[in-house]
Structures are given as C-alpha cells and as structure tokens.
Structure 1
Amino acid sequence: MAGKLTAAQGTGILLVTANVGSLFEDPDNLQKTWLREFYQTVQTHRPHFLAVHCQEVGGKNYEASMSHVDSFVKELLSSDAMKEYSRARVYLDENYKSQEHFTALGSFYFIHESLKNIHQFDFKAKKFKKVVGKETYSETLESTPTLEKEKFPQDYFPECKWSRKGFIRTRWALPDCSFDLVNIHLFHDASNLVAWEKSPSVYSGTRQKALGYVLDRITDQRYEKLPFYLFGDFNFRLDSKQVIETLCSAATMQTVRAADTNEVDKLIFRESDNDRKVVLQLEKKMFSYVNQDVFRENNGTSLLEYDKELSVFKDRLHELEISFPPSYPYSEDSSQGKQYMNTRCPAWCDRILLSSSARDLVLKPENEEKSIVYDNIGPNVCMGDHKPVFLSFRITAGAGKPNANKHKCCVVQ
C-alpha cells in the first residue's frame, strides 16, 4: 500500500459481507479471483479496521471442503496485501458434527499497525481486553468468551431439517468509540412457487421473526447497549407476487400440475400475441425470465420498490442508499461475471444495516460524503453466486469520545 496510513483523519472502517459457499465448490477458479478483488477493495479504501463477515464457510459439502477453508484462512492471514494488518481475530464455526450449534459462519477482523489501543470485549468477564497478535478460533466457539453465537431454534424453519442459520456477535472498542458487529445468516426461500402465493411471502415472515429475535438479543439488558452494525446474508427477497405481476402484466398464466400428486409443478407466463412467447417460467427452483437486463439496467434500482422486508424494522435499522445491482444469484461459471442464474428472482440478499447510533457515527457532519461508500465487490467478474457487499467510512477523531470514556475503551486489561 502506497504511503503511510495514519489515523490522524479519524479511523477508516471497512465492513464486508460475503456468502462464500461457492468458493469451496470450485476453489481453483473462484478463490483466486475472489481474493484478488477483495485485496483490491482493501487497497482502495485502506481501512484501519477491517471486518469481514462470511456465511456458508466450507460450502455445501463441508466435510470435503475443510482443507480448502484452512488454506483460504492462511492465505488471508499471510498475504502480502494484508501485511500491514498486524493484529487479527478469526472465528470459524467449523464444528459441522454438532447439528444443534453449527452455523457455518466465519468472522474475520484485521487491525492496521498504525491503529493503537484496540480492545475487544470479553462477554464472560464483562470487560474489554487489549487485542494483541493474530488468533484463530474454530471448533469450540460456544466456549469462546470474546463472542456470542446462536443458531436459530429449529421450529423457526421446520421445513429445512439441517438449517445452519444463526448469528455471531463481537464487541470492539476503538480509541474513539465502541460498537457491536453482528454476522447474520437468515432463512432462504425454499420454493419460488410458495414465495409467489401471497404478498408478503411466508418466507418473509420467517426472516422477520428471526431478525426480530437477533435485535432483541443484542439490545437486551445483559450488556450495555452500544451502536451496532449488522451485516450478512439476510436472504431478503423482492416481493415475488408483486414483481411477477409487474414483469408479466401483459402475459397469460398456464398452470402445470404433477401427474401423481396434482400439486402445482410449474407456472408458465406467455405473451398473448407474439407467437405466445414465454416471458417467465416459474418452478420450485427455477425463475427463468426472458430479459435479465431489467435486473441490471440502472443497477436494477427500479425494482427496489419491491424490496420491502426491511421496512418492518424502519425504526430500529437503517441502511445507506443501494446503488448496486441485486447481489444474488449470480452464475457460478467463472466466465459469466454479470449473468444471473435462472434459479431465483435476483434480490439484494447481502446487506449492511446500522442501528440509529451506528448510523450517526457514519454520517457525522464532518464526514465528507465521498468518504462513505456502500457498494459491491467484483461487479464484472465471477465471485460465486453472491457478490460481496461493503461499507467504507471514517469515524472522525473524538466522534464518540463521551461514549469512549463511558465504555472504558482505553482500559487495558
């Protein structure tokens, strides 16, 4: 990195969320590209404090992919691009044999050598301790005192027997302020046909319940309330019924039922004229729309009116303006960087959300607008089925000073 990075202008923060499941299915092709784009983002924004929240670490075939996870972590910790980050904490939920606890979440934190006095909260001892050196924790996250981890109760999503959805929370104290960082993975849409049945969909309700549960946990009375940044794969989807009715407004619908069960197998929407051309074919795991450009033109932002799942939490959670295309589901073909798969309606699944007090830290009046960037990583290359999403900003010197003293940020344990 050119030039000396100092914290005189405040503390540069870079938050990244990345569902990395694809990387472990095809490590030879995807991992190199993914890391190159990630390092490029780090070099562009040059944060003092970098947090990367990963979901689906190890991919679908977790047992077979474990060695790939280890090499991915080693590469991140030892790479030339990250050599100025002298302290690191890595938390990997690798204990896939423990079905009642396993979340496949991975949280990575890197601290630049120029940033002094960084402390991390010990939830058992209820105090901040100075962060020194590089440490990796896996297998036994349940007993690791510097984090809180929970998997959602099984009855939240009964149709998915081995759901790995949950969250991990860590708490940090910089010289100027303290905050919580929460890695989260919410439930997906199991079937496009079910998702389209009503507005909002049944899956939207499940995610709402789980997100409410997390918010209640991280703001309860056990610990002092701090600003928090909640970033991960929320699996938020566009309102299927409304999107399909808009995209297929001039089409007629044909229902195809399974011969043996008489259940709806697929829906085919055709143009009334024009040789009855198929506009959309919808199946449990197929969303094949005739014109993908609608999701890319102007970054797909005309569809944001159907992105409604966050509105339920508008008093508790905030987000900067989205100006990047839907982050999922991209083709996993390494030559198709901008193409979506015909499996789901593209949606902004990967997000960075802020509490009111966290938003105030980002949007301080003295913070120049251009120093705040909310965007995706690797827009033109294949990063797997999810594009990582990042938020870069500065916490100005003294921004949370009353806070900082109150939270004993600078007490070295």
Structure 2
Amino acid sequence: MATEKLANVMLITANVGSIFEEPDTLMPIWMKEFFETIKKMEPQFIALHCQEVGGKNYHDSMQHISTFTRLLLESEEMKSYNRARIYLDDDYKTEEKFTALGCLYFIHESLQNIFLYDFEALKFRFISGKDIYTGSKLFETKTHEKLKFPMEFFPETRWSRKGFLRTRWSINDSIFDLVDIHLFHDASNIIAAEKSPSTYSNHRRKALDHAIQRFSSDKYDKVPFIMFGDFNFRLDQYGVIKSLCAKATAEYLKENDEIKRVTYIENDNKNKVILTMEKKKFTPHNPKIYTENKGRWLRKFDREARYFYDRLYEYDVEFPPSYPYSEDLNKGHDYMGTRIPGWCDRILLSHSARDLVQKDIVHPPNYSVIGPDVCMGDHKPVFLFFKLIGGKDEPPRKRAKSE
C-alpha cells in the first residue's frame, strides 16, 4: 500500500452493573475517568461495549439508562463526536432474549469514510446523526445482530443475561466486525476449585466456540472480527490453591454432606490460616498477593484464553486482574474477598483483524484499564487503543445507501 490511511480507534469493554446499582456515587466517577481517557487518547472512533446494563437489579435500575446515555451524548468532552449509534438491550421481560448488552459507538467529525452494515439488506449504510435503539426499536433495526446463547449452554440450564451482539463496520475501506460478548460466571468457588479446568471454564469454552464457529459458517461475508466484553475468564483456581496452600492442610465444614467452607491451615503452625474459601468467599491471609507486582505471578494461572490462541490474538496483558474490585470509594486498588481476582474483561482479535492494526514500534497499541487508581465499580473498564490501517476493498460509499 503506497499510502496508508490511518484512523485512531479505541475499543472499550466495561461491565457497568455496579454503576447502575449506585448511579449517584459511581456514575460520576466512571464518567470522569472515561472522559479523561478519551481526551488523552483522542480517538476518532470509540466502541464502548457494556455488559449488565441496568445492573443486577435491572427491574429497578434500568431507569438509569437514560442518564447514562445522556451524560455520554451531551457532555462537553464528546461534542466533537457528531455521530453515534447506540444499541441497548433493556427488554428484560423477554427472558429468552434478554442479554443486558449495550454497544455504544461514537464517531469523530474528522472521520468521514465510515459505514455501518445492514445485515438484512446485505449492504453498508451511510451514518448521520445520533440514534439510540432500545426496547422494540432494537429488534426493528437490522444494523446489528444479537443472540442469546441456547439454553443447553447455560450452567444448570437456567437463563441468565449471557450472549453476544455484533455490528459490522467499514472505516477507510477496512471492513471488520465488532462483537460484544458476555460469558458465564463462576457461581461457586468450591465447585470451581474441584478440578482443572473447572466446570464453569468448560461452559465458557463451549459458548465461545459456538460464537466463533457461527461467524465462520453463517451466510454473511467472512471478515476480520474483534471480540471484547466480559468473558468471565477466571484463573485456574485449583492450581492457585495448590500453589498458595502447598504447605497447608484443608479442613472442611459440611452441612448435610455439602461443603460450606474450606479452611487451609499451615502445617507447622496450627494457628495460621492461609486461606478461607466458601461459595462466595475467597480470603487469603495476605491479600497483597493480588497487587504486588501487578499480580504478575497469577498470570501463569490465566489459562482460559490460551485455548483459543489458534483463532484469537491478544496483546500483552500488563494490567492487574480487572475483577472483582471493592466498591468502596476509598479503596480503588483493593479487591473484594468474594472471588479470586481474574482478567475477566478482555479484547481478543481474530488473526486477520490483527493485520488491520498498524505495527508501530514507537507507539504500539495500548492495552490497559481506565481508572486504575479510583473505584470504577467491581470491574475496571479495559481498553485497546490503536491505529487502524485503511483497506483496499471497493469503497462501501459506492454501494451504500442512507440509513
């Protein structure tokens, strides 16, 4: 390519459940950190993928969606982004379809060669103005594809808000898909620690396999794709405990033959508890093991993404685990004692999508977190900033129609 057309692109994944639960305290902090990051990086295209829109108590908290979108669209910091497409799955009354996913896309006035795909008409559309799709309007628009995972994929075959939402873009004639995804969580620490890989890990692997295979076998043209969301990837808990408690003895508290608590006690010091674990409690004697040296020793137990490295690529992870952070406003660096921390929030590229990223040695892609020093809720938003290389395809503007 003689001359490369480059576009500054910023992809962000954010599980926003906490800020919908505590909008008066957490939402202003979240927005401040988001805007400061945007100001610093100056992206021309922002893709914000959210999970748990409305929070866990979405029946009561879904009302805060309008505040969330208004703060983003009407802020002084975003005034140069003159086009937007926002998809919010807020219809919780249709349980078999509800995913609580939100995809928010903002386009800077300096970026002109950009188009959005219509999955029904099989053609790209011009983008103008700012449109928000919620409720029934979300089902009517065909510029996205939303799918909840089949019931048999869910642990215990019970519905939860898990699935993915896909959009297709052309920027400077580079065509690619952006996929917001939310996979299954670990319901019980005790079950997660039984074996490696865990039962939950196997469920996540099956669901992600399903999504990737769908993209390779559906009726649409095959294009590079980037998946970013809450993959819920957890550390190999079996391996972590084996490492932490190699010189400890496990004592079990049971009720009706069910394990309720496991206490690991140092072999040579019966008064020293190394770790206490319950269904929703994971408390090591020394919680600093998570934050020392950015938790790098834990990386060897971060194995779930590696299964997909033949199909997906991830830039080096240099940030601490993104979940579960304390929701105490004064403890922005601390983790809750509910789960072993993990890199749940990720940005993964198909190998063909990696070819769209400029290989700049001086200014390489930036893969990091937003708000590392403040409370952002139980998840830290994760972002990838890079320069997108223009493509050689037939310009979509020659075949696009107005949206």
- Say yes or no: TM over 0.5: yes
Match of 1:5 in 2: none
CA deviation profile, 1:159-186 (whole Å, cap 9, x unmatched): 2633110000000011130110000000
CA deviation profile, 1:207-241 (whole Å, cap 9, x unmatched): 00000011011222411111111000000000010
CA–CA distance in structure 2, aligned partners of residues 28 and 273 of structure 1: 49
Instruction: Return the match for 1:89 from 67, 85, 92.
Output: 85
Percentage of matched positions with identical amino acids: 53
Q: Equivalences for 1:197-276 in 2 at 5 Å? A: 197-258=194-255, 261-276=256-271
Instruction: Return the match for 1:350 from 345, 352, 355.
Output: 345
CA deviation profile, 1:346-392 (whole Å, cap 9, x unmatched): 00000000000111212x34x34424100011011000000000000
Q: How many residues align?
A: 398
Match of 1:276, SS?
coil
CA deviation profile, 1:95-140 (whole Å, cap 9, x unmatched): 0000010000000000000100311000000000111100000113
Match of 1:395 in 2: 388
Retained in 2: the 8 A contact 1:102–1:164? yes
CA–CA distance in structure 2, aligned partners of residues 226 and 304 of structure 1: 31
Instruction: Return the match for 2:309 from 301, 311, 314.
Output: 314
Comparing 220-229 with 52-61, which one deviates more in the overlay? 220-229
Q: State the Cα distance separating 1:158 from its structure 2 match.
A: 4.1
Instruction: Return the match for 1:120 from 116, 119, 123.
Output: 116
Is residue 2:109 matched to residue 1:108?
no
CA–CA distance in structure 2, aligned partners of residues 391 and 173 of structure 1: 18
- 1:182–1:369 Cα change, 3 Å: farther
- 1:160–1:409 Cα change, 3 Å: farther
Match of 1:50 in 2: 46
Match of 2:71, SS?
helix
Retained in 2: the 8 A contact 1:117–1:130? no
Retained in 1: the 8 A contact 2:113–2:173? no
Match of 1:79 in 2: 75
Retained in 2: the 8 A contact 1:173–1:409? no
State the one-letter code of the partner of 2:67.
S
Q: Equivalences for 1:175-186 in 2 at 5 Å? A: 175-186=172-183
CA–CA distance in structure 1, aligned partners of residues 112 and 293 of structure 2: 42
Q: Which runs of 5+ in 1 are unaligned?
A: 1-7
Q: State the Cα distance separating 1:9 from its structure 2 match.
A: 6.7
Match of 1:269, SS?
strand
Retained in 2: the 8 A contact 1:94–1:102? yes
CA deviation profile, 1:67-115 (whole Å, cap 9, x unmatched): 2111111111111110000000000001000001000000000000010
Is residue 2:277 matched to residue 1:282?
yes
Retained in 2: the 8 A contact 1:178–1:409? no
Match of 2:150 in 1: 153
State the one-letter code of the partner of 1:330.
Y
Q: State the Cα distance separating 1:410 from its structure 2 match.
A: 5.0
Match of 2:356, SS?
helix
Comparing 127-136 with 219-228, which one deviates more in the overlay? 219-228
Is residue 2:382 matched to residue 1:382?
no
CA–CA distance in structure 1, aligned partners of residues 149 and 42 of structure 2: 35
State the one-letter code of the partner of 2:250.
M
Q: State the Cα distance separating 1:273 from its structure 2 match.
A: 2.9
CA–CA distance in structure 2, aligned partners of residues 358 and 79 of structure 1: 32
Match of 1:361 in 2: 356
Match of 1:382, SS?
coil
- 1:218–1:52 Cα change, 3 Å: same
CA–CA distance in structure 1, aligned partners of residues 140 and 261 of structure 2: 47
Match of 1:13 in 2: 9
Match of 1:361, SS?
coil
In the superposition, the TM-score normalised over structure 2's length comes to: 0.96
Match of 1:12, SS?
strand
